[in-house]
Structure 1
Amino acid sequence: MRRSRYRWLSLLLFALAVSAHAQSADGDRLFAAGDYAAAAAAYLAAAEADPEDAAALYHAARARTYQARETAGEAAVALYEEAVAHARRATELAPDDPEAHFALARAWGRLAQYRGVLESLNLATLIKRELDRTLELDPDHDGALHALALWHTNVPWVFGGRTEQVRPLFERAIAINPTVLHHLEYGETLLALGDPEAARRQLELALELPAPTAADRAEQARARELLASRF
């Protein structure tokens, strides 16, 4: 009887693991297609099937962050805050996983961008802490290097922002992994820093890359808009 009970429990745990994996795979597919709300729901279903699945939680945080960027008002703030909650839980489950810390930094960082610098200075230290932890765990994490460049761009000097760090950080991120987003946001940053020719080249490079996901295509559309309006 006891052996039968253990066998039943093993089968149940196996079924839950298979279900969690399938839900995460659905989340990946939906995220690539740009259905961020459905992707988040799939990742959260995976996390419900396996409450120790930190990856499902930080992927849910990523999906909610992207969903928030397509939303306005208090609904966007609520999505960013939900992303923060999922990512924070992921860091608790997997404190040595750089992706968990990066998801938390990204959620806080995009929330700070949405609210504006002056209203978000209280988040600057938290964002920097998570980016530093990400890079401590993975010194070549291109997303964290990119985000740290944005941090130095947006945070005033008195709070630690150093604009001389911006170009080296972006260029290192691009050298590690040239993505549409890296080139786009480097171009936007160079425009803000008053270097239109260098910005133009980054925007052009963003358009030269493949765009397999909906996010890539949206970012390329933004690059085209900037090139058309500024040059």
Structure 2
Amino acid sequence: MFVYPGELLAQQGNGNATISLEEEADSLYDAFEEKEALNAYEKILNRDPENYRALWRTSFLYSRIGNRKKEKDTQKEFYNKAQDLAQKALQVDSTDAESHFVMSVAMGRKALIASARDRVAASRDIKKHVDRALAYDSTHAGAWHVLGRWHFKVANLNFVERLAANTLFGGIPGDASNETAAKAIRRAIELNDNYVLYYHDLAMVFDEMGKKKEAINACQSALNLENLTPDDIRLKNECRNWIEDWKS
């Protein structure tokens, strides 16, 4: 049974085994029970504000949950919180992939609802953090996915964004391309092939490249996966709609 605040007690054999709040939070996180995991990690941070694992995971959860909010102002609040927690995680350990990864995620999400100027400005820092994440852990699937999305977004900046980049920052940062985006997301899938999101985003990149067959195959792969995250039903519905459009 659950005992709040503090610990989960589980029966094992003839005695009681105490599972810590940290273990409870990690179990909820691994099961994609995101709101419950967020609540548990925040309890940990209330008693231990520099708990590194709780900091970066809470940051990531704020980014993920914020992405589902309908109101832009609410999204911004969640992303600001995610970025603040990522900064605290970096202060605790800036030599680990996770702190840089969650910072790149928070900044990336925040950029999507920002002005053209702010999106272009943020792109440089997003790239810096995802590169550092991969430098510390070259097998970090999430970081490869973020890198793929970065290349896709920057390679396909609209006119206003390109104007802002040229006027304010001396051009578009980096050598972004859809080809590199696809390569990075494929690497994420090689490292972890269980996420619907990775195949969904790969299909989006292939579509932009005019590779409809590859895009359909990526969507079909997404549809064959079990639902893990709260977003998977929506992502699969998008894939189904895309397949219908591409085949029509």
TM-score range, shorter chain: 0.7 to 0.9
Q: Is contact 1:58–1:87 with CA below 8 Å preserved after alignment?
A: yes
Out of 192, 200, 219, the position equivalent to 1:177 is 192
TM-aligned CA distance change 1:123 to 1:223, over 3 Å: same
Q: In the alignment, is the contact (CA less than 8 A) between 2:22 and 2:41 conserved in 1?
A: no
Other-structure match for 2:112: 113
Q: Which of 142, 166, 174 is the matching residue for 1:160?
A: 174
Q: Name the Cα RMSD after superposition.
A: 2.4
Cα distance, 1:207 vs. partner? Answer: 0.9
Aligned-pair CA distance for 1:41: 2.7
Preserved contact between residue 28 and residue 37 of structure 2 (Cα < 8 Å): yes
Give the deviation of 1:61 after TM superposition: 1.1
Q: Structure 1 CA distance, aligned partners of 2:118 and 2:210? A: 24
1:229 & 1:67 partners in 2: Cα distance? 29
Name the structure where helix makes up a greater proportion of residues.
Answer: 1
Q: 1:39 to 1:228 in 2, by over 3 A?
A: farther
| Percent identical residues | 24
Shift of the 195–117 alpha-carbon distance from structure 1 to 2, 3 Å rule, reads: farther
Report the TM-score, using the length of structure 2 for normalisation: 0.77
Aligned 8 A contact 2:72 2:113 in 1: no
- Once residues 26 and 185 of structure 2 are traced to their aligned partners in structure 1, the CA distance between those partners, rounded to angstroms, is 30
* Structural mapping, 1:131-170, within 5 Å: 131-156=130-155, 158-163=172-177, 164-170=179-185
Rounded Cα–Cα distance in structure 2 between residues aligned with 1:114 and 1:108: 10
Higher strand share: 2
Instruction: Tell me the equivalent position of 1:24.
Output: 25
Per the alignment, residue 57 of structure 1 pairs with 55
Contact 2:76 2:110 in 1 (8 A): yes
Q: For residues 78 and 201 of structure 2, what CA distance do their matches in structure 1 show?
A: 22
Displacement of 1:20 in angstroms is 4.2
**Residues 213-224 of structure 1: matches in 2 within 5 Å?**
213-224=229-240
Size of the alignment, in residue pairs? 213
Partner Cα distance (2:130, 2:116) in 1: 18
What SS does structure 1 have at the residue aligned with 2:138? coil
1:193–1:86 CA distance, 2 compared to 1 (3 A): same
Q: Does the aligned pair in 1 maintain the 2:41–2:58 contact within 8 Å?
A: yes
- Counterpart code for 2:68: E
CA distance in 2: counterparts of 1:161 and 1:125, whole angstroms: 12
Kept in 2, the 8 Å contact 1:170–1:182? The answer is yes
The residue type paired with residue 63 of structure 2 is: T
Which segment is superposed worse, 207-216 or 118-127?
A: 207-216
Alpha carbons 2:26, 2:37 under 8 Å: kept: no
Contact 2:21 2:40 in 1 (8 A): no
Q: Any stretches of 5+ residues in structure 2 without a counterpart?
A: 1-6, 8-18, 156-170
How many Å apart are 1:224 and its aligned residue?
2.3
Equivalent runs, 1:37-76 vs 2, <5 Å: 38-71=36-69, 72-76=71-75
